Each structure stands twice: as structure tokens, then as C-alpha cells.
Structure 1
Amino acid sequence: MTFVKKLIATLSLALLPVLAVASEGGFTLDKAPERPSLSSLQHGAKLFVNYCLNCHSASAMRYNRLKDLGLSEEQIKGNLLFSADKTGDLMTTAMRPADAKAWFGAVPPDLSVIARAKASSGGTGGDYLYTYLRTFYKDDTRPTGWNNMVLPNVAMPHVMWQLQGVRTVKMVEEKDPHDHSKMVHKFAGFEQVTPGTMTATEFDTATADLVGYLEWMAEPAQNTRKRLGVWVLLFLSLFVLLTWRLSASYWKEVK
């Protein structure tokens, strides 16, 4: 076996666990739209504070870091500072962990780096969160009255249901592709029961803004890192070119 074949075989074995996660039979993830503009990230921050920060903390993020999104200290104080006294405070929730566990059955996770934590769930972390937040449906068998297609039997209620409205799932019976003697239930879409304050397109856009903010919060310096990365690669390319020409000049004299 050649070195290349050995390398391919080794990489294939290394990727098996990743491939298993990506094809685990869960709900297909939608691609999260890119939200690079400051206005969309500002809107996402507003949604985060209003709908997520009531139960979840972001203990690795301070309010004043939102200045990186183009917000002034006055705007942060007037529009986003509800559960803290100073803009230098951490984004924490007033909900006690014991109360959260009693109400939801589990303590809501910290969302500081949730976008990076979900990056291994089949797709990017943004894809996971974007699909998860848009696939809640009414389920009266659950303690909260809600369920989710991405995370079945989820403990979290649909906090943005007033924006999206109330939906149920439509299921159809099909023959099991692995055993034609059995029938299985397959997801066939959502059915709108009552409308929300937003249209479907508006809700998808708002969710994309929220997910964009969660991705930014997981690594606030990512835009700076990407910009610096371009200059570093250009410098290395120039350095390689100079090294190549210097080497050619050196060996020319040796010959």
C-alpha cells in the first residue's frame, strides 16, 4: 500500500465518527443565512436580550462589548440593559438554577458559546440553531406544551411563539424503507393554527439575526481575526515568493 493510500485510509477512519453524527437520521438542518451587517447583529442582540436572557445567561459576555456592534453606551442602557445596573456587568439571568430545574426539568444552558458548542451537530452551529429555533410546534403531551423537530422532547418552551404563531406538525404514514412489512410516520410539514405577529419570511429573518448575534457572541473577535488572516496570508505569499527567488539566485551561483 502506497503512502497516499495509507493516508486516505487513515483519514477515512478518523472521519467515521463525524460522518455518523452528520447522518444520524435527525431532522435535516437548514442553512443559516449570513448576517454580516451591524444592523442585523444589533437586531439580533435586541432579540437575545428580550427573549433569551430571561432564562439563559451569557456569563462570558459584558453589555459594553456590544459597542463593537456600533451601539453607544446610551443606546445599550436605554434599550438593552434590563437585568443589570452597569454596562460593564456580565449578561446573567435573575432566574435561580433551582427554580429553572423545577419549572423546565433542566437548568437552561449558558449561551455564551452555544454557536460553537453546536458546531458538531451535523452542519455549523448556526445551521443547528437556525433550524432549531424555527421548528417548534404545539404538543399538549409535553409539560411546556411545546416540542421541537431538531431536539425532540425539548424542555425549553417556544419563547417566540407570539412572533411565529402556533403550529402543529403533519405526519404521513409510509412503508419502512428497510422493512416493507412495517409502516413508519414521516414528517410532512407544519400546519399553521394561529398566525403570529410576523409573517413566515419576517420570522425567518428575525431568527437569522438572532443566530447571527449568537455566532458573533461566541467569538466577538472573529471579524478582526478574518481581516488579519487575509493580510497574514498575503505576507506569507510574498515571503514565499522572495524566498523562492533568493533560492534560485543562490543555486544559480553554485552551478
Structure 2
Amino acid sequence: MKKLLIALVALIPSLAIAAGGGYSHPLEKAKIDLEDKASLQRGAALFTNYCLGCHQMQFHRYNRSAQDLGIPEELVKENLIFGDQKVGEQMTNAMPAKESAKWFGKQPPDLTLIARLRSPDWIYTYLKSFYIDESKTFGVNNAVFKDVGMPHVLEPLQGTQTAEFVYTEVHGEKTLSGIKLTQKTEGSMTPEEFDQAMHDLVNFLEYVGEPSKLESHKIGTWVLVFLAVFFVFIYLLKKEYWRDVH
């Protein structure tokens, strides 16, 4: 029993890494604020410029974003649609599925519900965690998603990073316990600007995953107010009915 407990303790660091896809540190917090329309608008622009070429949002329409985020449809046509699509159509691309699976090893996933699947914190940390790895097809790897088949499309904005692997020795065995990322070359954005850009992009992905969330919360608030008022009347009615009994 003692040997079994020692073995389990030794496995804890590697289990933590496996659970996070290779990243043993806590995920960074994404600043989600669905009421910040300026942030959501910037996130929409980032998505269409850097992500839509490979990743579709086939369950979300351009005009839904235009309506919810306060973007005039003319601006949507000029700045968010780069093909011959209409404003009322879904956010899709022309990348053929079979060919994309060959190029990337797997067809790039649809991102409509990615924030609900992975969590905003995971996506935010992932987007910031690419590092140089010449052994990979696209020359990069990711500290959150090990052996990812995606190129670092945001490299012009962020620049490049190198990785230092941190090991912990437990009972004479070295186990990978973390990955330290260091800026190697600069991008067009400062680290602070890139952080904000990724917050905006993740904010937009969170919105797309559940566009009616803000409206639902507002309706929920009014329902709770109604129930509270209704409860008072029900209580008074109950007292009136049972007055003679008591």
C-alpha cells in the first residue's frame, strides 16, 4: 500500500500536465465582458481577419453580430466579409474539408461553440502560448495544446517565443512540471496590446457561443423580481384564507 501511494504521488505532476494538454500552471483569466461592445467589435474584426480563413462559424450569421454589436451592415460588408457572401449568411469559408485535413492533419474545427467547449480561460491561454519548435511542420508548438497542428497565425502581432521546459525530480525521476515562455522577437503589438487583443477575440468567441446570454440574464432578473413580488401577494392571500383556522 505504501509503494502504491508513493507511485501515485510521483504521477501527480504528469497527470496535471495531461489534464491541461501540457500546461501545468493555472490558466490565465480572460476578461469576459459581454456588455463591452467595443471589445466585441474588435474581437469580430480579429476573428474574420486571422481565424475565418481556416475556422468557420457555420452556426452564426454576420447580421446577428451586426445587430447585437451595433455594427452597421455596410461596415460589416466592407470590413468583415471578404468574399461574395451576403450579410444574412453564416460565417463560413471556402476551404475544402478533405484538403484541409491533409494540410493540417485534421480538419480545422468550427469555432461557433468553442468557448463553451473549452472555456474562455483555456482559449485565452492557448492563444498566447505558441513557441518555436522547428521539429513541427509549421515550426511552432503550444504549451497548452501539445503537438497542435495549427500554425501561429497571430505571430505578426505577438512575435515569437521560446520555451524552457521545467522539470521536477520526484523520488529520483524527472517529470515535466511546467513550460516557461520567453519573448524572442517582437510583433507589431506590444505584449500589453496583444493581451488586450486576445481578450477581445476570446470575448467575441464567448458571445458567439451563446448570443442570447445577456438578454437571458436580463429576462432572468425580471423573472426573479416578479416572483419576489408575487410571493408577497401569495403569502398575504394564504394568511387571508387561513385566518379563521388559526
Tell me: CA distance 1:227–1:22, structure 2 relative to 1, closer, same or farther (3 Å): farther
Q: CA deviation at 1:25?
A: 4.4
Q: 1:219-230 maps to which residues of 2 (within 5 A)?
A: 219-230=210-221
Residue of structure 1 equivalent to 2:228 = 237
Tell me: CA distance 1:111–1:173, structure 2 relative to 1, closer, same or farther (3 Å): closer
- Counterpart code for 2:142: N
Q: CA deviation at 1:194?
A: 0.6
Tell me: CA distance 1:25–1:80, structure 2 relative to 1, closer, same or farther (3 Å): closer
Q: 1:73-222 maps to which residues of 2 (within 5 A)?
A: 73-118=73-118, 125-176=119-170, 180-222=171-213
Tell me: CA distance 1:22–1:229, structure 2 relative to 1, closer, same or farther (3 Å): farther
Tell me: CA distance 1:220–1:82, structure 2 relative to 1, closer, same or farther (3 Å): same
Residue of structure 2 equivalent to 1:50 = 49
Q: TM-score, normalised by structure 1?
A: 0.84
Q: Deviations over 1:125-163 (max 9, x none)?
A: 111111111111111111121111111111111110111
Q: Matches of 1:132 and 1:61 in 2, distance apart? A: 23
The answer (yes or no) to whether the contact 1:83–1:94 under 8 Å persists in 2 is no
Residue of structure 1 equivalent to 2:10 = none
Question: Structure 1 regions of 5+ residues with no counterpart?
Answer: 1-20, 119-124
Q: How many matched pairs?
A: 226
Residue of structure 1 equivalent to 2:71 = 71
Q: Matches of 1:183 and 1:147 in 2, distance apart? A: 22
Question: Structure 2 regions of 5+ residues with no counterpart?
Answer: 1-14
SS at match of 1:253: coil
Residue of structure 2 equivalent to 1:31 = 29
Q: TM-score, normalised by structure 2?
A: 0.87
- Counterpart code for 2:65: L
Name the structure, 1 or 2, with higher relative contact order (CA <8 Å, separation 6+): 2
SS at match of 2:111: coil
Percent identity, aligned pairs only, is 43
Q: Displaced runs of 4+ in structure 1, greater than 6 A?
A: none
Residue of structure 2 equivalent to 1:251 = 242
